[in-house]
Structure formats: C-alpha cells, structure tokens
Amino acid sequence: MNTYDLIQVSTKDNIKLNGLYIAGDKRKAASIFIHGFTTDFYSHKFYHTIADKLRAQSNALILAQTRGTGIQTEFIKSDGKGVFLGSYYERLEDAHIDISAFVEFLIKEGYQKIILIGHSLGTIKSVRYLFEGEYKDKISKLVLLAPFDKNAFMEIKAPGKWLDFVEVARKKIAENKGKEIVPTPEYEDYPITYETFYSWYEQSDLSKVWDFYKKGYDFPVLQKINIPVKVILGEKDEFVNYPLFNETAQSVLDTIKKHVKTCETHLISNSSHTYFGFEEEVAIQVTNFIK
C-alpha cells in the first residue's frame, strides 16, 4: 500500500495547515493539489489515483488542506488558539496565502518547478494564484480539473437579482456584519457568509474567470496566462452543462483553449464533476501532462 508523509505548514497569517506529501525526484516538477468547495484533501478516489501515478514517475505531490476545507472547520493558529473557517467562511482572495505556505515547503525541500492542480473551486484558486501569489513565478504549469461556471448557476437560481445582492453583501461587510449568513435558498444553496458570497460574486475579472455563460466575454484573465495549461472536464459535469445558455462541457473546453496561449484539453465521456468511475482516465491525462 502506498503511504504519504503528513506535513504541517504555517501561513503568513499564522494558520496551521496539514497536507499529505509524496517526495519525488527534485529534478522534476512537484505538484500541489487544491481541492474544491466543502470537501477536503483526501476523500475523493481520483486524488489518490493521481497521486499513485505521480509517485510511479517520481514526481512529488502535496494533497493540500486549505482554509476552505470542510464546511465549518476549526483550525489551530500558531499561538495554539482555534479559529473557525471552512468553505462557508472562506474568501477567495485569501487562497493564495494557503498555496504559498505549501510552495514554500517545496522550495525548502529543493524543488525548482511547481505545478498547481486545482479541482472545481480549486481551479479558480489556481488561476488566481498566477496573479496574486507570492511565488507565482515558481509555477510552471496548471492542471485544471472540472472548472465550474458559478455565475451561470446564480443567473439560473436568481436571474438578475443575484447581482443586486452582491451590493447588499458589500454593505453588510462595511457594517461589520460580513460573518452573518446569507439568506437561503433564495440566494444560495449553502449557508455561506456575506463575506464569502461577496468574494465569490463580486464582478472583477478574477471573479468572472469561468463566465462561460456570458456571450461576448473576452476572458482577459485567461489571455494573460503564459504557462502551459491542461483542462479536463467530464462530459456530464453538472456545473458547466447549462442548456439555457447553450453551454456544454465541450463548448467550455473550446472557449478555454481559444483564450489560453498554450492549452491542452480533454473531455471524459459520461463523467461527472468528480470523475467517479473514471479515476484512471483522469489520472493518466494529468500525469502525462506533468512528465
């Protein structure tokens, strides 16, 4: 049975994060896997299938905990005190802080090339790191697994109204009420805070990175990516197939490939958002790109 080393890193704002680490050949790239919304860094089978194949080709990997791990999760700070974070409390603009802590670990271990592998919400964090990250120049490639069109989901759920509610959330934050919970189910399926809602849906280009539903959008963030990118989508991914907008997994892949300078794409027939039953195929695609 393959094993991992359990590691712990500290972020610049003194949060302790854990990770599962596989050491590799320091002449090769090392990867950091960044999980999605409400999940963790160890549960999905495809994480471990990817890890096993990377180990077999002597590539290092960290399955990384983030402050968005779980729903409401208590993290320990450097002073020993606890703080409640998790997906319902996370701000996307803080994601780079977590990633940097793991990049620092790999740099100290002697790796020179680092790859970010993001799944779902982790794809947004990975792309943002290229613009916000302290060590963005160390990132040599991106692997984006199941990017999702969060704004299309909201346009279906609360047509037009959700954009007005972004301003409501901004005002709540200004009134020091950002930790309060957004009304559900009208504006969210999950009881996230106003801070998290605003972080997800404020209308900067970083927030709109996967706005595939919006006709005519020119994806300025994607056009600025200058490193090789691999994008893998399931044909039946429920977070990019939106008939209302004529949006399909294939059209999403076509759009990304059109706007990213160096990009490979792969569509997995019949696969959903978490690749259940297709773990081997996604792992082969990832590891072949990382070689």
Write the CATH number for 271: 3.40.50.1820
Instruction: Name the domain boundary from 204, 235, 270.
Output: 204
Q: Based on the fold, state whether residues 29 and 139 are members of the same structural domain.
A: yes
Read off the amino acid at residue 160: G
Look at the chain and report how many structural domains it folds into. 2
Residues 240 and 267 in one domain: yes
Does residue 192 sit in the same domain as residue 283? no
Same domain, 43 and 186: no
Q: Are residues 67 and 120 in the same domain?
A: yes
Quick one: 40 and 141 in the same domain? yes
Together in a domain, 200 and 218:
no
What 3-state class would DSSP assign to 30? Answer: strand
Tokens 């996604």 belong to residue: 282
- Distance, in Å, from the CA atom of 61 to the CA atom of 85, rounded to the nearest integer, reads 25
154 and 144 in a single domain? The answer is: no
Say whether both 133 and 168 belong to one domain. no
Please provide the distance, in angstroms rounded to a whole number, between the alpha carbons at the two ends of the chain.
Answer: 23
With beta carbons less than 8 A apart as the criterion, state whether 15 and 67 touch.
Answer: yes
Instruction: For residue 158, report the phi and psi dihedrals to the nearest 5 degrees.
Output: -140, 75
221 and 194 share one domain: no
The residue assigned the tokens 């700070």 is: 77
Same domain, 97 and 144: yes
User: Do 43 and 138 have their domain in common?
Assistant: yes
Q: Which domain holds residue 282?
A: 5-149+210-290
Tell me the pLDDT of the chain (291 aa) as tens digits: 568 999 999 999 999 999 999 999 999 999 999 999 989 999 999 999 999 999 999 999 999 999 999 988 999 998 999 998 999 999 999 999 999 999 999 999 999 999 999 999 999 999 999 999 999 999 999 999 999 999 999 999 999 899 999 999 999 999 999 999 998 777 788 889 999 999 999 999 999 999 999 999 999 999 999 999 999 999 999 999 999 999 999 999 999 999 999 999 999 999 999 999 999 999 999 999 998
Q: Which of 141, 174, 204 is the last residue of a domain?
A: 204
